[in-house]
């Protein structure tokens, strides 16, 4: 039996000109995860990550403590996140609402939830993005590729909340609105693990953060 471990990227730069860049906290989270995996003698036969900067940087932080052969690291754009900014803009325009203050965290995630509901229900078209059906299909196609290419192996995947919740939702057959709830619960650098067999994937753990167990680590629990 193989294992598939999905990792959400470290904290990105919310409110900055370039969101797709790990913050100082995100860099620390990633390094801490790598150190934990090394301490537990956890090794992976292959690594996959999306093509976003925060995916590359998160893997780089992990790899400082958990080196792996370069030819076993693969980049797949199908593991990329949806464009949250484009989704919010489309939702606000559709509702006839003004733009958001870039640093208004709560308003941002309320608008994102509304946009996600409409996009996933095929009620909102976002010019810069595919349909949700296409997004979901792309994510699951990469997971199927990994499952077929690495039977009985241990694979680490660095991605984002959207793709990870899509995989969890597909395996648990959750309705769309529950998939959004799953997405909103995933911590930065949290681990979600599946056991992999010929019959498919079975969820083993969700949103685990064993590398942040110390009481002093409370500031490292982030969602964005």
Angle between helices 105-120 and 84-95 (to 10 degrees): 80
Angle between helices 132-149 and 161-172 (to 10 degrees): 80
Looking at residues 81-85, what average pLDDT do you find?
93
Structure tokens at 45: 């036969």
Contact 181, 195 (CB under 8 A): no
Domains of the chain: 2-80+139-220 (3.40.50.1240), 83-128 (no CATH)
Q: Nearest to residue 22, comparing CAs of 73, 61, 63, 76?
A: 61
Contact 164, 8 (CB under 8 A): yes
Segment 90-106, tens digit of pLDDT: 988 887 777 666 666 78
Neighbours of 106 (CB within 10 A): 7
Cα gap 51→76, rounded to integer Å? 6
Tell me the whole-structure pTM to 2 decimals. 0.94
Q: Provide the pLDDT for residue 129.
A: 94
Q: Which residue has the higher pLDDT, 25 or 216?
A: 25
Helix (H, G, I), strand (E, B) or coil at 23: coil
Which residue has 């006839």 as its token pair? 96
């Amino acid at each position: 039996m193989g294992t598939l471990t999905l990792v959400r990227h470290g904290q990105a730069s919310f409110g900055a000109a370039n969101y797709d860049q790990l913050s100082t906290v995100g860099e620390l989270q990633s390094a801490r995860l790598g150190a934990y995996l090394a301490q537990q003698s956890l090794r992976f036969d292959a690594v996959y990550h999306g093509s976003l900067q925060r995916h590359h940087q998160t893997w780089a932080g992990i790899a400082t403590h958990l080196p792996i052969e370069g030819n076993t690291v693969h980049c797949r754009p199908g593991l990329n996140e949806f464009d949250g900014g484009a989704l919010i803009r489309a939702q606000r325009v559709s509702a006839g609402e003004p733009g958001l203050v870039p640093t208004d965290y709560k308003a941002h995630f309320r608008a994102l939830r509304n946009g996600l509901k409409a996009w996933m229900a095929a009620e909102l078209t976002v010019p810069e993005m595919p349909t949700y059906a296409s997004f979901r299909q792309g994510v699951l196609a990469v997971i199927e590729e990994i499952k077929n290419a690495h039977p009985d192996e241990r694979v680490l995947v660095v991605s984002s909340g959207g793709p990870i919740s899509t995989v969890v939702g597909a395996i648990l057959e959750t309705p769309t609105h529950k998939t959004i709830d799953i997405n909103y619960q995933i911590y930065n650098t949290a681990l979600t693990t599946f056991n992999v067999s010929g019959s498919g994937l079975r969820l083993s753990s969700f949103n685990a953060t064993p590398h942040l167990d110390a009481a002093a680590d409370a500031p490292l629990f982030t969602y964005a």
